[in-house]
Structure 1
């Protein structure tokens, strides 16, 4: 999740995973099947993702609760008209909980972030265009500036001294999720709300009660 690597966990039973390995769940449109296996899988994955992501978007780290969260396929599954990576549809390692904005066409949407499968079935061996929430350690790509007071700032920047491959991946991640624009302001407001709740509430009340002459 941007500055924190997600720990791969899921609460899906081996029996259910085995059922989801059936070929009918590896084709375009399988995610939208109205059957009990799909419903159970989605519910268990969603609850686990909320837990391991601390209730924050896997891409921008903003709180999910008020941002219409959605389960996102990191490597997009595609649809019947544009098939992408349907074999990853029910792969827990390919699923995160995302805010609606990060998962919309404005940001990631159905953009194909798989650079190469390297001729391998092992998902962990694939090459990705963005920093992968589970496979990559974000701190290999970003660093968090320290303020004069010694506090970490709310936004990471591209890590100095990294090679071109890491730098391109970091740049693509920042650009795709708009992490150099308005979301930085949103992160700053969230941090202020946590650190200075009373002061912020006082400012809001003053602004709200102000009436121009």
Structure 2
């Protein structure tokens, strides 16, 4: 997952919308009135996330994907008060049976935030597991997060494996460019698990 740090300056269009619509709720998020604001928010999130999906870390165009509520705005675990909170947003891909589409209105046990990957272990074959030294309960939380987001999808695992091979090759043959590679590569947040 992205170790997401939101821009501390909330997009002005979002602030203006909230000021003009103080009683707006979850149903207003998909309204025609909010649509132009949503586009600007998505662009800002895209920048915050370095062009990657917040969950699977695949490249994502600024105008593609969706704005996902990290804490859901609806459902049994709803946080409707966070519907228009910029720090509750993530730019996610619309991968079939994955990421925000799969998460739906559930709370993530591990959210995209600084340190979110510390409990994950990345295998050389691209699969994600819990760190071996974790307690049984902590391992469950890791597996639950991974499975809730569909991060063990075979196609995604194969794609991570390709980038792992590139990283290993660079570490062996061109170690001086590894840091630059990790600034731009897909999966760069989880790839760091191999170097720690």
Smaller-chain TM-score bracket:
0.5 to 0.7
Q: Once superposed, what is the RMSD of the aligned Cα atoms?
A: 3.3
- State the distance in 2 between where 1:33 and 1:66 align: 20
Q: CA deviation at 1:164?
A: 4.1
Contiguous gaps of at least 5 residues in structure 1 = 114-128, 148-152, 197-213
Q: In structure 2, the residue corresponding to 1:137 is in which secondary structure?
A: coil
Q: In structure 2, the residue corresponding to 1:6 is in which secondary structure?
A: coil
Alignment of 1:103 with 2:139, yes or no, is no
> Are the aligned partners of 1:131 and 1:138 in contact in 2 as well (CA < 8 Å)?
yes
- Classify 1:16/1:72 alpha carbon distance in 2 versus 1 (closer, same or farther; 3 Å): closer
Give the match for residue 78 of structure 2: 84
Give the match for residue 203 of structure 1: none
- State the distance in 2 between where 1:51 and 1:13 align: 12
The farther-off stretch of 47-56 and 158-167 is: 158-167
> Are the aligned partners of 2:46 and 2:62 in contact in 1 as well (CA < 8 Å)?
no
TM-score scaled by length of structure 1: 0.62
The farther-off stretch of 39-48 and 169-178 is: 39-48
Alignment of 1:186 with 2:159, yes or no, is yes
Bigger share in helix: 2
Tell me how many residue pairs correspond in the alignment: 164
- Classify 1:174/1:48 alpha carbon distance in 2 versus 1 (closer, same or farther; 3 Å): same
Give the match for residue 23 of structure 2: 24
Alignment of 1:137 with 2:136, yes or no, is no
Give the match for residue 171 of structure 1: 143
Q: CA deviation at 1:89?
A: 1.0
> Are the aligned partners of 1:10 and 1:48 in contact in 2 as well (CA < 8 Å)?
no
- Classify 1:11/1:40 alpha carbon distance in 2 versus 1 (closer, same or farther; 3 Å): farther
Contiguous gaps of at least 5 residues in structure 2 = 170-196
Larger radius of gyration: 1
